[in-house]
Amino acid sequence: MDGSHILALIVAHPDDDAYGLAGTVALHENDPGFRFILVHATDGGAGQIDPAYPPVNEALGSIRRREMDAAWMAHGRPPDRHEWLGYDDGAVGQVPFDELAERIGGILAQERPDVVATFGPDGLTGHPDHIAVGAATDAAFSRLRGGGPGLRRLVHGGVRRSTWERWNRGRIRRGLAPWDAGRMYDVHPVPDEEIGIEVDVSAVAHRVVAGLMEHRTQRHVVSPGVPPEAEEDARWARTVGTEPLVMAWPPREPGAPVLGDVFEGLD
pLDDT tens-digit series, residues 114-162? 999 999 999 999 999 999 999 999 999 999 998 889 999 999 999 999 9
Beta-bridged to residue 37, according to DSSP, are 8, 81
CATH code of the domain in which 166 resides: 3.40.50.10320
- pLDDT top residue among 18 and 47: 47
Residue 185: domain span: 5-249
Q: What is the pLDDT of residue 225?
A: 45
Q: Work out the average pLDDT over 187-193.
A: 95
Decide if 267 is inside a domain: no
Distance CA 27, CA 203 (A): 9
Decide if 254 is inside a domain: no
Decide if 258 is inside a domain: no
Decide if 151 is inside a domain: yes
Q: What is the pLDDT of residue 233?
A: 61
Q: Give yes or no for residue 2 having a pLDDT over 70.
A: no
- With beta carbons less than 8 A apart as the criterion, state whether 88 and 100 touch: no
Query: If we measure between CA atoms, which residue out of 176, 174, 161 comes closest to residue 244?
Result: 161
Q: What is the pLDDT of residue 220?
A: 83
**Angle, CA of 231, 205 and 196, to the nearest 5°:** 125
Distance CA 247, CA 158 (A): 10
Q: What is the pLDDT of residue 254?
A: 86
- With beta carbons less than 8 A apart as the criterion, state whether 160 and 197 touch: no
Decide if 255 is inside a domain: no
Decide if 73 is inside a domain: yes
- If phi > 0 it is left, if psi is from -120 to 50 it is alpha, else beta; for residue 90 that is left
Q: Give yes or no for residue 228 having a pLDDT over 70.
A: no
Q: What is the pLDDT of residue 232?
A: 57
Domain count, the chain: 1
In order, the DSSP letters of the chain are: -TT-EEEEEEESSTTGGGSSSHHHHHHHTTSTTEEEEEEEEE--TTS---TTSPP--S-HHHHHHHHHHHHHHHHT---SEEEEEEEPTT-GGGS-HHHHHHHHHHHHHHH--SEEEE--TTTTT--HHHHHHHHHHHHHHHHHTTSSS---EEEEE--BHHHHHHHHHHHHHTTPPPP-TTSTTS---B-GGGEEEEEE-GGGHHHHHHHHTT-GGGHHHHSTT----HHHHHHHHHHTSEEEEEEEETTPPTTPPPBSSTTTT--
pLDDT digits (tens, 9 = 90+) for 26-41: 999 999 899 999 999 9
Distance CA 61, CA 67 (A): 10
Percentage, residues of the chain above pLDDT 70? 94
pLDDT band at 20 (very low <50, low <70, confident <90, very high): confident
Decide if 89 is inside a domain: yes
Decide if 260 is inside a domain: no
Q: What is the pLDDT of residue 223?
A: 63
